[in-house]
Structure 1
Amino acid sequence: MVTARDIRDLLDERPDLEPAITAVLEPNDPWTFEDVDVDSGAFGELVSRGVVTKTDDGYVVADREATRQALTGEVSEQADSHTAEFDLSLPSLPNTRVLTGLAGALAVVVLLRITTFSTVFQGEVVLTANDPYFYRYWVERMLTNPDTTLTTVPGGIAKGEPLLVATLWLVSSILGGTKAVTGQVFAWYPVVSALITGVFVYGLTVEVTDDRRIGIAAVVFMGTVAGHGLRTSLGFADHHAFDYIWLLLTALGATVIVRDAIDARPLTSLRTVAAMAAVTVGVAAQTLAWDAGPLLLVPLGLLIAADAVVAVYTDRDPLRSGGPLIIASALGAGLVWIAHTSFDWHTTLVVISPALLAAGGVGVVLAGTLTHRFDLPTTGLAGVTVIGAIGGTIAFTRLAPDLWARIEQSLNSRLFRTDSIAETTGLFGESGGWLLLIGLLLFVGVPYLLWATYRVRNDSKWLVPVIYTWYFLALAAVQIRFVGQLGPFLGIFGGLAFVHLAERVDVARPPTPFGGDPVRDIGTPDRQTVFAVGALFILLGAFGAAQVPLKSSQIVHTQEQFQTTSWMSDHAAEHNNEYPQNYVFSFWPDNRHYNYFVSGESRSYGYARANYGSFVSATDGGGWYNRLNNRAGYVVVTPNVVGNDSQLGTRLYREHGSGANGTDGLAHYRLQYVSSDEQYKVFTLVPGAVIRGTATPNATVTAETTVEVEGASFTYTRQTTANPNGAYTLRVAQPGKYSVPNGTVAVNESVVNNGTTITENTGS
């Protein structure tokens, strides 16, 4: 059979034949000599060289794809299925126009993710959300220890996200290892992840569709998924952005392997070997990057099973694609085992997951190969696959009951948990969060996902995006955190929809999957086309694009909040407060942020999460002071703590601890700072000064002073009742000159901080 290289060699020898070759591609096969505008001499040359062949019904182009690639000069992308030697050909790079289009798409992705720039860079690098400060805490401590190696990753991290922390530590160390450098690395790594993921999405899309326009559009639509944009935004340095790289690398490698099997490329081709390497690295990295990483391996297992069934259905040997996928999975399992035994990374349960994937794949592919070789029914293979999966699960529960119990526990704690953390809620809840997290892409992409799902019966190229998209859509329905994984795959179908709809309104050529020729060049659009394409994007993608910065803005620490944090940090340093006297007690989603800058202890927000809600809703201020004393130094309250008049949250935020609405005021909570927007108020815990004096027996005694603090001025009031002898004692949290029944009493700061008792007539 003629190959692209044969035709390219012919064109190099006879460039005058290019118009003839172009002409014979125009009619649909079969056709007659009269259907093409080619002279007889050139036509005879094409027939003699095997470019055109004669059939009973007329003439046909021997290999249209090879012919098109030869015309565009991309002969390296067409493998010669009849050669057995090791193929070292490299894929051709896109032309300048395609590279420009891809760069523009990636620029859109980046611009949507750096809208938080001013709140991330506030003199200090202020990471967004809560969890990034956990990883920053550990990386900075590893950097301060000169003996740190991969074997000394802290225990909690080694069983959680060891590869992420080790990578951030290594990159920060290479770049200088200072605290400033580490901050920059943490701030920018999610954006870099989005860029890399975008490149992989482009490659995967083009591999499936043979249309570079769809690849570019897919990158843009991935960029408009707010659930993905949020987790790859500037400063949001948690583990998810790291996971996306390896997930897409695995999917891209698997797509190339399946495509090479369809095209009958030799297993020794550089493409296939590189794709196997990609899957190997991806499987290992996904497993090592996150203790729930095995969840990200499941679609690869589903792919191996589905590919075996489809291969048999289309009369293709399942071993041709399943074999490389299994080998890559096994090699990935080997890398994971080496890391586990060498560095003590992860538990046995996590470590064995890629090995189980490879073992299950062997059974499925073996069954598929036997079905194909003996020409057995495809439905039988599908049934055997399902029964084998069920039987394997049952066998695992019997042979390894302890591991199975840990799997159930992990699923319950990771996937099916129900708590107040927003990311654990479902996508299709009552709030309509799916629209804000995905935008109209769900409406736009799902119809094309359904079309591709139907098409996989006869076109295995679509298996990877179809399986991965359905899988992560199902996971996102359980927990919205998986919208980030869904976004890149759903973006592929958004890109397909966009180009198809553009063709429907006559501003683009037909997309390749819908009968168009392979598109290797996007061309240079005129002004009318640019406006039409822009209008179509506004219609389909603008809403989602607008949600990306809006969602990102919800997790930033504003300038007013960081100023509050800085005030506490300066105050702690000025008064030589050390942990736990400088611990900040706050609403848990902000707790790591405060404590990273103030106490330095940002590895856990467990105490705040377990106690802060009870604290702000309680009424016993003295009892909570006794609990918090020697455990915390600062208490931060915001408007969301306001409840009824008797609750501590309301009395602190609205009344500043002063008596009001029938309450006596609080004695141990000294307001010290109010942010310029009055959203953040900082109290320090103090013993409080005790004022002792006399008044009318059984009378209500009021002590009152005017307080000036940074950001606020207010009247602080405390009340009590004199005893039958007229004596009273009253504890106050604020220094100042108090008016009392018999005059005034001066209370200075040291008295408040030491809990000293003073009398009306002596003052302090």
Structure 2
Amino acid sequence: MGKVTDDRTGVYEDTAAFLDERDDGERVVEALLAVGDGAETWEFDDVELDSGTFGEVVSSDIVEKVDGAYHIVDREAVRAALEGEAFVDANEGDAGFTVDFDVEWPTVAGLVGALVVLVAARTFHYKSVFVEGRVVSPGNDPYFFRYWQEQLIAQSSGPFDFGVLVNPPWDDGSFNQRPLTHATNWWFTELLGGDQWAADMVAAFLPLVFTIILAIALYYLALLLTRDYRVGVASVLVLALAPVHANYTGLGLLHHRYNQYLWFGLILVTLAWLGVDFTRRREMVGTDEAISGHLNARKTWLVAFAFGLVFAAWTHSWGGSLELFVGLGAFVGLRVSMDVRDGVSPGRVNLPLVFGFGVGAALAMALHLGLGWHGIPAPALAVVTFLGVVGVVGLGELWAKQGWSARSLLVVQPVIAVVGVVGALLAVGEIQAVVDRVLRSIGPSSAPSWQVSTQSQSLYSADLFYLYGPVAHIGIEFYIGLAMLAWCLYYVYREYDPAWLLISVLTVHYVIVAGILARFAGRLVIVISVLSSLGVVYLLSVVDLAREPVLFERMGGRQMGEKVGSAVRSLELRRAGLIFGVVLLVSSASLLYLPTMMGQITHDRAHVETAMEISEHAESLDREYPENHVLAPWAEYRMYNYYVSGESADESLGRYVYTPLFVDESIDERLEWLDDRIGYLVLADPPVSIPEKRAQPRLTDQLGVPDDRFESLERYRLIYLNADANIALFSVVPGAHIELNGVERDITVAEAEVSVQDRTFTYSREVAVTDDGVANMTVPYPGTYEINGERVEVSERDVMHGNSISVGE
């Protein structure tokens, strides 16, 4: 008697192997399936095969003999293998579905090539990052994260000293603390040794490493959704060449975004996996058996648990992450309505989803209560989201049992959601004030343009003619993705497919949210990349350069809802090259704007040299904070202070004080207020247009050519000048106080020749004389001053110690 096996997946694999090994494999298997018009058992004489071939079939465990009769071990599994379909044993819980990674080398080459493009797009500015043994992060914000990175390193004794993360030093009770990002930066730094070299390496390379992992996750997501490796490779290329994403995750850009983007990608993968697993089981064996198999699979609960971990990580990666909860809530609501529409029990099929949200909410709250991470709003909203998911799923189950329509459920859900959110805010008064702050932060700012970063503007801003903004930030792929989004929305309207519903809902969500704030365009790139790449492969098929995407073959070759075909497992080398080339052609706008956007945030070498000049000057005078505090243009403010004093956590002076020096008529009062708050002032090209009547020559004329006469304020001493870069550096000094007595004029002028580097200027200071004939002035330079025909000597000690010099009666 032959071997009896309950391994249905094994039968499928044995049949597939038999088909691969024999040239006549398909004919043999078709003969087996046709014998006796599909009779359960039969005799050898009933099958039209010779004894040798039949013996190979039996030895391959496709057919077995029981009680003197032969039968196919598993007819469904054998037929699936013959038709090249994926096979799911819904009764064998852990079997689930798999994505075959045993692919031919052109496919591997395509993925590796896409990853190489991604790395190149994020490292081409390396010369601006690695400067004279230092890692100079582009932009302003990375120095905020580098500040806390080094603060935690200073307090910890190694990578397992997690006590430094309890009640962290940045805790101010606010919603926007980014605790997981700081913890991640600290841990990897300690893992590499915890010294300055380790901190620099983490600042330089950790964003890139996380982005490579994200790209691989995105590749897997594309395979889950399309079972087409070409779409997977194209998805990675879309991500690689999106200017806005590269601008946030490039070399040296230690920021919360690299952290956030990875968690977002993993949220998509885990939720899509849960949707695809059930959908494919249902396509094979029907709804009830598919639900049982889905719930009995250990892998289902592992993925759901993984989603919970990622959900909690997302909650604590950045305070602004909470807007995703709206998108996820919309997805769950529409998923439940889809279940009701197609006769699927929402209560049963969504148990893993509810479990995952529960794990995430519990962990997010535990991190708050146990470690003091975030203020209460972030974890509380995670809990509210979990309760909302429970309510929506429960409501859907009631709707299904009562036989009510899915359309009526779609009407009721938003009403209940609004009532629930308002009720929660009223019940927990502490959240309400913070939510007001969140809503203000995501809306357009009414502040002056010089106080607002470009990421706080709309993706569809008038500055880029509304429709061109997405091209500059994402590329032409954005509009290809929008076209595919229209198809996808129609598809999920007609078909049961929770995974594509997830992509549709979150794409719509971020198309809207990025229209409010362009900073969310980075997440939009991630979710729309699969749609964009699917569109690119479809365009290639239209011009006969590639096969039609598997997903479209399904729609065109079979009735929608039938079993999907197997994955396209390899790419011919020539076709892979064409796909790569066409994607690059489609990404031509990205190739133009990617270096442009990166160039806008990398620091000019002149500014780095000026920062080093300040650092050396401050060290020579033993200045400590705030005596070495630097006021510089907002874009360079944190960079200067990181390298001079290390105090780069706050940017208020650079953002709100620097520019008004050029446009505010109360400049004297402003600089007097700054005297005790800063030690250095860096002047560069004015960041805004200066109205002619309000321009301040004292702050701009000194950037002119040598031998120009210039006038300055009393405590700001020019110590460094880079005329080529139009940068002037002033040190704040006490200044020498000169008192003139017996002056017989209304105005008195003091002049001295001043040398800075190899340049000589005439410094002039003009003051009014009192009715008593007394004039008082403070000068920041040592030297010989000509004052009313007299020569007055001012020493370096006089200037640096604020000594007084009396002249006249």
TM range (shorter): 0.7 to 0.9
The offset of 1:707, in angstroms, is 2.8
Q: Which of these residues, 82, 100, 103, is aligned with residue 109 of structure 2?
A: 100
The offset of 1:722, in angstroms, is 6.5
Moved more, 619-628 or 452-461: 619-628
Partner amino acid, structure 2, of 1:429 = S
Partner SS state of residue 754, structure 2: strand
Q: Are 1:673 and 2:720 an aligned pair?
A: yes
In the alignment, the residues of structure 2 paired with residue 451 and residue 177 of structure 1 have an alpha-carbon distance, to the nearest angstrom, of 51
In the alignment, the residues of structure 1 paired with residue 19 and residue 769 of structure 2 have an alpha-carbon distance, to the nearest angstrom, of 113
Moved more, 707-716 or 228-237: 707-716
8 A Cα contact 1:5 1:70, kept in partner: no
**CA 164–11 in structure 1, closer or farther in 2 if over 3 Å, else same:** closer
**CA 647–600 in structure 1, closer or farther in 2 if over 3 Å, else same:** farther
**CA 108–658 in structure 1, closer or farther in 2 if over 3 Å, else same:** closer
**CA 231–566 in structure 1, closer or farther in 2 if over 3 Å, else same:** same
In the alignment, the residues of structure 2 paired with residue 543 and residue 157 of structure 1 have an alpha-carbon distance, to the nearest angstrom, of 42
CA deviations over 1:549-592 (Å, ceiling 9, x no partner):
22122112221111100100110000011111111112333222
In the alignment, the residues of structure 2 paired with residue 564 and residue 69 of structure 1 have an alpha-carbon distance, to the nearest angstrom, of 69
The offset of 1:723, in angstroms, is 7.4
The offset of 1:145, in angstroms, is 1.6
Q: Which of these residues, 191, 198, 202, is aligned with residue 174 of structure 1?
A: 191
In the alignment, the residues of structure 2 paired with residue 757 and residue 395 of structure 1 have an alpha-carbon distance, to the nearest angstrom, of 68
Moved more, 116-125 or 245-254: 116-125
8 A Cα contact 1:659 1:666, kept in partner: no
Q: Are 1:381 and 2:405 an aligned pair?
A: no
**CA 345–184 in structure 1, closer or farther in 2 if over 3 Å, else same:** same
In the alignment, the residues of structure 1 paired with residue 443 and residue 691 of structure 2 have an alpha-carbon distance, to the nearest angstrom, of 35
**CA 750–561 in structure 1, closer or farther in 2 if over 3 Å, else same:** same
8 A Cα contact 2:458 2:516, kept in partner: yes
Q: Which of these residues, 126, 142, 145, is aligned with residue 132 of structure 1?
A: 142
In the alignment, the residues of structure 1 paired with residue 310 and residue 764 of structure 2 have an alpha-carbon distance, to the nearest angstrom, of 63
The offset of 1:739, in angstroms, is 4.4
Moved more, 409-418 or 428-437: 409-418
Moved more, 580-589 or 603-612: 603-612
Q: Which of these residues, 488, 491, 508, is aligned with residue 470 of structure 1?
A: 508
**CA 65–503 in structure 1, closer or farther in 2 if over 3 Å, else same:** farther
8 A Cα contact 2:702 2:710, kept in partner: no
Partner SS state of residue 127, structure 1: coil
8 A Cα contact 2:749 2:765, kept in partner: yes
In the alignment, what sits opposite 1:10?
Answer: 15
Q: Which of these residues, 756, 759, 781, is aligned with residue 709 of structure 1?
A: 756
In the alignment, what sits opposite 1:634?
Answer: 680
8 A Cα contact 1:223 1:545, kept in partner: no
In the alignment, the residues of structure 2 paired with residue 552 and residue 181 of structure 1 have an alpha-carbon distance, to the nearest angstrom, of 24
Partner SS state of residue 681, structure 1: strand
CA deviations over 1:58-81 (Å, ceiling 9, x no partner):
xxx96799327969xxxxx73201
Partner amino acid, structure 2, of 1:624 = R
CA deviations over 1:297-329 (Å, ceiling 9, x no partner):
332222211111122223333345422111100
The offset of 1:681, in angstroms, is 1.4
Partner amino acid, structure 2, of 1:423 = Q
Partner amino acid, structure 1, of 2:191 = I
Partner amino acid, structure 1, of 2:661 = F
In the alignment, the residues of structure 2 paired with residue 568 and residue 417 of structure 1 have an alpha-carbon distance, to the nearest angstrom, of 34
In the alignment, the residues of structure 1 paired with residue 523 and residue 726 of structure 2 have an alpha-carbon distance, to the nearest angstrom, of 34
Count of residue pairs brought into register by the alignment: 734
8 A Cα contact 1:129 1:589, kept in partner: yes
In the alignment, the residues of structure 2 paired with residue 40 and residue 136 of structure 1 have an alpha-carbon distance, to the nearest angstrom, of 75
8 A Cα contact 1:693 1:760, kept in partner: yes
Aligned CA RMSD, in angstroms, stands at 3.7
Q: Are 1:571 and 2:627 an aligned pair?
A: no
Partner amino acid, structure 2, of 1:578 = E
In the alignment, what sits opposite 2:200?
Answer: 183
**CA 368–712 in structure 1, closer or farther in 2 if over 3 Å, else same:** farther
**CA 634–262 in structure 1, closer or farther in 2 if over 3 Å, else same:** same
The percent identity for this pair of structures is: 25
Q: Are 1:751 and 2:798 an aligned pair?
A: yes
Partner amino acid, structure 2, of 1:225 = A
The offset of 1:699, in angstroms, is 7.4
Partner SS state of residue 320, structure 2: coil
The offset of 1:602, in angstroms, is 1.3
Q: Which of these residues, 400, 404, 411, is aligned with residue 432 of structure 2?
A: 404
Q: Are 1:304 and 2:357 an aligned pair?
A: no
8 A Cα contact 1:646 1:663, kept in partner: no
Q: Which of these residues, 77, 80, 87, is aligned with residue 66 of structure 1?
A: 80
Partner SS state of residue 766, structure 2: strand
**CA 537–726 in structure 1, closer or farther in 2 if over 3 Å, else same:** same
In the alignment, the residues of structure 2 paired with residue 22 and residue 718 of structure 1 have an alpha-carbon distance, to the nearest angstrom, of 102
Partner SS state of residue 724, structure 2: coil
Q: What pairs up with 1:210-225 in 2 under 5 angstroms? A: 210-225=227-242
The offset of 1:330, in angstroms, is 0.2
Q: Are 1:431 and 2:463 an aligned pair?
A: yes
8 A Cα contact 1:563 1:675, kept in partner: no
In the alignment, what sits opposite 1:288?
Answer: 316
The offset of 1:619, in angstroms, is 4.4
The offset of 1:749, in angstroms, is 2.4
In the alignment, the residues of structure 1 paired with residue 580 and residue 320 of structure 2 have an alpha-carbon distance, to the nearest angstrom, of 40
Q: Which of these residues, 580, 583, 589, is aligned with residue 629 of structure 2?
A: 583
8 A Cα contact 2:129 2:136, kept in partner: yes
In the alignment, what sits opposite 2:280?
Answer: 263
Q: What pairs up with 1:618-657 in 2 under 5 angstroms? A: 618-619=664-665, 622-641=668-687, 643-644=690-691, 650-655=697-702
CA deviations over 1:604-656 (Å, ceiling 9, x no partner):
12234332233333345543343122211101111025735675754223335
8 A Cα contact 1:707 1:716, kept in partner: yes
Partner amino acid, structure 2, of 1:611 = V
The offset of 1:261, in angstroms, is 1.4
Partner SS state of residue 341, structure 1: helix
Q: Are 1:595 and 2:610 an aligned pair?
A: no
TM-score between the two structures when normalised by the length of structure 2:
0.82
8 A Cα contact 1:560 1:676, kept in partner: no
Q: Are 1:326 and 2:354 an aligned pair?
A: yes
- Unaligned ranges ≥5, structure 2: 1-5, 31-36, 39-46, 64-74, 158-162, 282-292, 555-564
In the alignment, the residues of structure 1 paired with residue 27 and residue 182 of structure 2 have an alpha-carbon distance, to the nearest angstrom, of 55
In the alignment, the residues of structure 2 paired with residue 493 and residue 308 of structure 1 have an alpha-carbon distance, to the nearest angstrom, of 23
In the alignment, the residues of structure 2 paired with residue 24 and residue 510 of structure 1 have an alpha-carbon distance, to the nearest angstrom, of 28
In the alignment, what sits opposite 2:248?
Answer: 231
CA deviations over 1:206-228 (Å, ceiling 9, x no partner):
11111111011011111222221
Q: What pairs up with 1:53-92 in 2 under 5 angstroms? A: 66-67=80-81, 78-84=87-93, 86-87=94-95, 92=100
In the alignment, the residues of structure 2 paired with residue 589 and residue 15 of structure 1 have an alpha-carbon distance, to the nearest angstrom, of 61
8 A Cα contact 1:396 1:404, kept in partner: no
In the alignment, what sits opposite 2:212?
Answer: 195
Partner SS state of residue 717, structure 1: strand
Partner SS state of residue 293, structure 1: helix
Partner amino acid, structure 2, of 1:481 = R
In the alignment, the residues of structure 2 paired with residue 198 and residue 507 of structure 1 have an alpha-carbon distance, to the nearest angstrom, of 25
Q: Which of these residues, 505, 508, 512, is aligned with residue 550 of structure 2?
A: 512
TM-score between the two structures when normalised by the length of structure 1:
0.87
In the alignment, the residues of structure 1 paired with residue 294 and residue 246 of structure 2 have an alpha-carbon distance, to the nearest angstrom, of 39
**CA 507–40 in structure 1, closer or farther in 2 if over 3 Å, else same:** farther
8 A Cα contact 1:658 1:717, kept in partner: no
**CA 548–22 in structure 1, closer or farther in 2 if over 3 Å, else same:** farther
8 A Cα contact 2:354 2:390, kept in partner: yes
**CA 485–173 in structure 1, closer or farther in 2 if over 3 Å, else same:** same
8 A Cα contact 1:659 1:718, kept in partner: no
In the alignment, the residues of structure 2 paired with residue 112 and residue 23 of structure 1 have an alpha-carbon distance, to the nearest angstrom, of 52
- Unaligned ranges ≥5, structure 1: 26-31, 34-38, 51-60, 72-76
